[in-house]
Amino acid sequence: MFVMLQVPWLQSCANLMQIGAPLPLLGCLGQYFKVLESMEVLAGQHGKEIIEFPILKLNGRTMEIESTFHMYVQPVVHPQLTPFCTELTGIIQAMVDGQPSLQQVLERVDEWMAKEGLLDPNVKSIFVTCGDWDLKVMLPGQCQYLGLPVADYFKQWINLKKAYSFAMGCWPKNGLLDMNKGLSLQHIGRPHSGIDDCKNIANIMKTLAYRGFIFKQTSKPF
């Protein structure tokens, strides 16, 4: 599952001192967050495959969602979903049958990002994920197996677990569930649903931002 969060940058850091003003989540670096969260299905000897690809565009001044990208992905190595996968994610076979391949979905992600202005060199943005797995291991690994290139914009991100631990002083062992509990937030939707996980990530970030936390990149350069 992938969540991409975009956050427009405030005009000046001086705005941070205004009472009640949302904080810029990238310090003085960027304009948008891209929240990304991948949902995978176990695929035999070749590991896992991405079957859901949701992305949210989040405005950094208002911390409200401006746009959504959401597609299911046809698995090719292990095309038949297991009962365990369906029970965990809520994704049934009919939801992935006939859907675009990962290559096609990545092409549409690029088109969506261009439409939303995220590929404009004057607009800075960064992905946000619940952990490093999605962009450090899962997406690069599957792209390598399928012979697909990995776009440069997937190579830097913010690990929300690390950001939360910096802000709250404790590690969220159970991920989104622990972060929602620690911030007294109601969990949105179904656990392990890609699009719902994205909404929870955005809500957690909004809460931390309004408490004064400034998000920074946590990944190391490739």
Residue 14: per-residue pLDDT: 33
Q: Which CATH code is given to the segment(s) 27-211?
A: 3.30.420.10
Domain boundaries, the chain: 27-211
Residue 35: per-residue pLDDT: 86
Q: How far apart, in Å, are the Cα atoms of 51 and each of 37, 45, 72, 217?
A: 11, 17, 6, 26
Average pLDDT per run of 10 along the chain, which is 222 residues long? 47 34 41 75 62 89 87 91 88 95 97 93 88 92 94 94 95 96 96 92 92 88 66
Residue 155 per-residue DSSP state: S
d(CA 133, CA 110): 21
Residue 71: per-residue pLDDT: 95
Spacing of C-alpha 24 from chain mean position: 18
